[in-house]
Amino acid sequence: MGRLGAAVLREPRFGLAVLIGAVVGTPGALYITALHLLVNSKSSTAVQALAAAGFVVIEFALVIIAFAFLIVRPEATERAIQRFKDWLTHHARQVLTALALLVGGYMVLSGTLRLLG
Output the pLDDT for position 72. 92
**DSSP conformation class of 117:** -
Distance CA 80, CA 61 (A): 19
Output the pLDDT for position 108. 97
Cβ neighbours around 49 below 10 Å, total:
13
Radius of gyration over alpha carbons of the chain, in Å?
20
Distance CA 117, CA 109 (A): 12
Which span out of 15-29, 47-61, 77-91 was modeled with the highest average pLDDT? 77-91
User: Percent of the chain scored above 90 by pLDDT?
Assistant: 33
Angle between helices 61-72 and 74-116 (to 10 degrees): 160
User: What sign results for the dihedral spanned by CA atoms 81, 69, 25, 37?
Assistant: positive
pTM of the prediction? 0.49
